[in-house]
Amino acid sequence: MEVIHSTTILAVRHNGGVAIGGDGQATMGNTIAKSNVRKIRKLQEGRILAGFAGSTADAFTLMDRFDEKLNAYGGNLKRAAIELAKDWRMDRYLRRLEAMLIACSKDEILVISGTGDVLEPDHMVAAIGSGAMYAQSAALALKKHAPQLSAIDIVRESLTIAADICIYTNHNLVIEELPGN
């Protein structure tokens, strides 16, 4: 899977809840261009949460297309993700977009890429962006060793750890959750 620089997005399903968060940093080369970009979106009247890593303009285009697919398929997350991935891989315009998405409902988390991948992560933890491995490692450790934490607490702490390590990730976090039953 390709590495997208300039952000960290993390989604966690734990103890019946789902949370997704991201930092706010946007870079141009090795310069911070903006520190408070909102990379997490609520879709389908808040039933679907999505986050992006990569080129901001490309990601906004993909978010719009993903929302269209969700509307076309009655909010079915997996079907919309598969259809977006197919279009993304085959469409001449979309194929050039440089971004990745994580989308989640209260039941599933999916990573969607431009190579046609729609991946369901192991252990209900998914991360994309330059700080992905730091955040994912922290989240997996917290799920295992601090099982009493909520999904939102795990996302917040894991993104903080990633921001402490990754130069392309900052501490301006936006986190959204889908509460458990």
DSSP state of 118: E
CB atoms within 10 A of CB 137: 15
Gap between the Cα atoms of 125 and 17, Å rounded: 12
The alpha carbon dihedral of 106, 111, 117, 120 has a sign of: negative
Which of the following is catalytic: 7, 27, 31, 115? Answer: 7
Do residues 18 and 178 lie in contact, with contact meaning Cβ atoms separated by under 8 Å? Answer: yes
Is there a catalytic annotation at residue 7?
yes
Strands (E), the chain: 8-14, 17-22, 26-28, 31-34, 40-43, 48-54, 99-104, 109-112, 118-119, 125-129, 174-178
Gap between the Cα atoms of 77 and 81, Å rounded: 6
Tokens encoding 7: 């952000």
Please list the active-site residues: 7
